Amino acid sequence: MAYMYILQCTDGSLYVGSTLNLEHRIAQHNEGEGAEYTKTRLPVHLLYFEQFDRVDDAYRREKQVQGVEPSQAHRVGHRAPGVAAGAQQEAVRGHI
């Protein structure tokens, strides 16, 4: 399985990524081994993710979500435009 995920950083900003192992990747972020962006904004918390059969679909969705204006990010989980057929969505810790 592959995942597109959205993290909330300690400063309230959002980070969007994709991975094959969601739990491991979140642990990497919180250990300071994730993206440069999150290293100085720890801890991070998972807000939302979508599950895909293929990692290239998760990456494509990541790039699509990154194009959303920050003020509209809370709507991603509600309207989820362009979600690939067969993608599963899960809201975690409330909606974003």
Distance in angstroms (rounded) separating the CA atoms of residues 50 and 41? 23
Distance in angstroms (rounded) separating the CA atoms of residues 70 and 67? 9
Tens digit of each residue's pLDDT (9 = 90 or more) over 51-74: 999 999 999 999 999 886 656 655
User: Above 60 in pLDDT, residue 90?
Assistant: no
Does the pTM of the predicted model rise above 0.75?
Answer: no
Alpha-carbon Rg of the chain, whole angstroms?
12
What is the model's pLDDT at position 36? Answer: 92
- CA-nearest of 44, 35, 46, 48 to 10 is 44
CATH number of 2-91: 3.40.1440
Q: Are 44 and 29 in contact (CB under 8 A)?
A: yes
CA 92 from chain centre, in angstroms, equals: 11
Delimit the domains of the chain by residue range: 2-91
